[in-house]
Amino acid sequence: MLLTPQLLPDVLRHWFSKTIVDASKVNLKNETVFKKAMEIFETDYQRYFPGQELYLDNVLKRAELQGTLTYRIARECFLAGDADADWYGLLGRYLSAFELYYSAEIGHSLKLNHGMGTVVGARVKLGNNVLLHQQVTFGDKDNKRPVVGNNVIVYAGARILGGITVGNNTLIGANTVCFIDVPDNSIAVGAPAKILPRK
C-alpha cells in the first residue's frame, strides 16, 4: 500500500495510539503540512529504498524512517506556527528512540543508520545527503549550534558542539568530540578532534 498524504492521518492516529499522547489533541487534518512534509520525506525514503515507490510497509519496517517522517511533519508545523510541532516531535522520539528537534533545519535526503540515541538539537543546521550513525549528538556550546554542509557522514558516538562549521564532503569519526571547524573534503577524528585530509 502506498503511503500518501491522504492515508497519513490514519497512520499517525495509529502511531499516537501506541504512546501516552492523546491523538484528539492533535490536528490530523492539516493537508498543507502533510503534503509539504511528504514531499521532502520522499527524498529521505529514497536513501533506504532507492527507486521504489513510497510503500507504507517499508516505512513500518524502519524506525529511522518513522522518526524522520514525524520530524518532517513537526518541522512543517513549526514553520507554520502550529503548536502541534511539539506533539509530532514527541511522537518521533517514542517511535524511533532518537530526536530530530523541529527547530533544527535539516536538508533533503537524510539517512540514519540505526539512529538510537542520536540527537540533532534545536537550531542546528544540517545540509543535504547527510548520513548519521547511532548516538551522535549535534548541540549547544556557549549558546551556539553547528552548521553542517552537504554529503557529510558522522559515525557512532560523535559529538559536534557549538558554533562551528562542518564543510561539504566530510567525515566525522566514531567517538570524535568536535569543537572546531571542519573544512570541506576532510576528516575529523579524536577527542578533541584533529583534522585530516580526505583522500
Q: Domains in the chain, start-ordered, CATH in brackets?
A: 8-96 (no CATH), 105-197 (2.160.10.10)
Residue 108: per-residue pLDDT: 98
Residue 173: per-residue pLDDT: 98
Which single residue is written with the C-alpha cell 507504507?
Answer: 56
Residue 25: per-residue pLDDT: 86
Q: How many residues does the chain have?
A: 199
CA–CA dist 58, 75 (Å, integer): 22
Q: Is 140 exposed, middle or buried (0-12, 13-18, 19+ CB in 10 A)?
A: middle
Which single residue is written with the C-alpha cell 585530509?
Answer: 197
Angle (CA) 132 189 167, round 5°: 60
Angle (deg, nearest 10), helices 8-17 and 63-79: 110
Residue 104: per-residue pLDDT: 98
Q: What is the pLDDT along the chain (199 residues), one digit of tens a residue?
A: 999 999 999 999 999 998 888 888 899 989 999 999 999 999 999 999 999 999 999 999 999 999 999 999 999 999 999 999 999 999 999 999 999 999 999 999 999 999 999 999 999 999 999 999 999 999 999 999 999 999 999 999 999 999 999 999 999 999 999 999 999 999 999 999 999 988 7
Give yes or no for a contact between 100 and 123, defined as CB atoms under 8 angstroms apart.
no
3-state SS assignment for residue 149? coil
Q: Which of 96, 91, 102, 99 is nearest to 28 (CA)?
A: 91
pTM here is 0.96
Q: Is 162 exposed, middle or buried (0-12, 13-18, 19+ CB in 10 A)?
A: middle
Residue 187: per-residue pLDDT: 98
Residue 117: per-residue pLDDT: 97
Q: Which of 27, 31, 32, 2 is nearest to 13 (CA)?
A: 27
